[in-house]
A and B are shown apart, each in its own frame.
Chain A
């Protein structure tokens, strides 16, 4: 039996178009991704031309494992289950391509560009040393704490630079002129930049302020509601406002 959404699944394999796939857990998103990846592989000259990106190394390793598994299975007989047949056929096409172009993927699985977004960025940056203003010997770190700390300190040191004096001075007065404290706060923020960077890059201070104040307001209101719940009604009516 074919799944109810087999038309959509089929459509999503069309290499000429782009798709965003949203579906519940366990519905086979990764399988679909693998199928599309195999489909694309069978159309290119070099396996490196197709890039698959994940957020975590775990997901990248899992995907690589499943692709290799599909290729290994494609050496055998066609499976009888409907949903496995599709993958089998796509993998088979990749094996043919592999042989034609002498890719030898199974001996060199690293040729498959299945990697994290960070690894891809690193690769790009190190191939463009002039544009990125960075040397070729870059390395990814798992724990960037030290770099955040350094960036925090350098930001505080901008106090002595005319352009930034006013801004840094304001911040310093907020933290009682404690340089190390301010540097640490900035470093902590860098570690959580996925939470605020999107606000900052709007480059619209007024709007940003409104957004921040709104979320503060929500927090305050939530706290007040909690307080109201545990406050006897008589006290509530006495309070002004």
Chain B
């Protein structure tokens, strides 16, 4: 038998060399190989029994279901993701990027705004202050936020980079306060910032934290979540919502709620997004629906159904809309091999 390569990737290899290597006349025309390959023969004799295991053992009653609030996002996105990440503990490897991570930049915005609202307290004070005074206040907020970050992350912020970051934050926050002033029709006071809450949903213990709670003059409250990345408030009403944070808070909140809002702080793209009761006026928030209470009730049903699914051990590899998104598990779930 004589065998040689005829091509490597897109290159044709010079095969004649192989003939030439043999003594002249010795090489008769050999028939090309027609027998099935070894792999094909091995497979032909094997008995293959497909088994698809989509169910994990249910979480035993009385036992604490691991995962907390992450359960809701992961289970809704893909049951296997919730099972593998939260019950099996599969974790992706973290990679280090230079500079600040997205969540650190988010923290800067949170910290600065916390400082600013500690001082302002309500919309009346916001109206009263001049642009210069607000700029001054924001600068104080940025100083405060930077100082706490620099304590632990000096190496991520060389001096010039820190300057650019400060300038960016100041512009972003000034634009934001303009939006708070111009896009809201009702007077409000900031009732709470960084408010934590513990609750149970179908027995699953969940710890929540909300960035801000505003109170209107009639006593109704608005929950506000600062977002510096993507905002998808359209997700809230979906049966399998992959953005469950605010709905979770909304169904657990004890005071009378008037709405839930994302405060989207992104350069050139800032604004409110979310859902409010019909009588409340906030540009960007959706109110063309039923009463807000009914909406929250719908969220409760959806979230409880997702929780139950997780408790029952439903663990199919079945990403919603067939999109894996940021999930890094495909090496484990072998989704692509299942097609």
- Which of B14, B159, B168, B267 is close to A64, meaning CB atoms less than 8 Å apart? B14
The answer on a CB contact under 8 Å between A72 and B16 is yes
- Which of A57, A160, A180, A183 is close to B158, meaning CB atoms less than 8 Å apart? A160
- Which of A62, A165, A176 is close to B12, meaning CB atoms less than 8 Å apart? A62
The answer on a CB contact under 8 Å between A177 and B168 is yes
B222-274 contacts to A, CB under 8 A, are 266-267
B16-59 contacts to A, CB under 8 A, are 16-17
The answer on a CB contact under 8 Å between A179 and B161 is yes
Q: Given the interface contacts A153-B98, A179-B99, does A159 sit within 8 Å of B164 by beta carbon? A: yes
Please measure, in the bound complex, the distance between the C-alpha atom of A110 and the C-alpha atom of B167, giving whole angstroms.
60
Q: Number of A residues contacting the other chain (C-beta, 8 Å)?
A: 25
B266 contacts across to A, CB distance below 8 A = 176
Please measure, in the bound complex, the distance between the C-alpha atom of A173 and the C-alpha atom of B11, giving whole angstroms.
46
The answer on a CB contact under 8 Å between A176 and B159 is no
Does A89 touch B at the CB level, under 8 Å? no
Against B, the Cβ 8 Å flags (1 = close, 0 = not) of A43-73 are: 0000000000000111001101100100010
Closest to A68 in B: B14
Instruction: Report the minimal beta-carbon distance from B8 to chain A, rounded to whole angstroms.
Output: 9
- Which of B12, B97, B99, B165 is close to A65, meaning CB atoms less than 8 Å apart? B12
Give 8 closest A-B pairs by Cβ, nearest first. A179-B99, A61-B11, A58-B10, A177-B168, A176-B267, A159-B160, A160-B158, A177-B164
Beyond A61-B12, A172-B161, list 13 extra A-B contacts (CB 8 Å): A58-B11, A58-B12, A62-B12, A65-B14, A153-B98, A159-B158, A159-B160, A169-B164, A172-B164, A173-B167, A173-B168, A177-B164, A180-B99
- Of the A-B pairs whose beta carbons lie under 8 Å apart in the complex, a sample of 29, sorted by A's number, is A56-B10, A57-B9, A57-B10, A57-B11, A61-B11, A61-B12, A64-B14, A68-B16, A109-B14, A109-B17, A157-B98, A159-B161, A159-B164, A160-B158, A160-B159, A165-B160, A169-B160, A172-B161, A173-B168, A177-B161, A177-B164, A177-B165, A177-B168, A179-B97, A179-B98, A179-B100, A179-B161, A180-B98, A180-B99
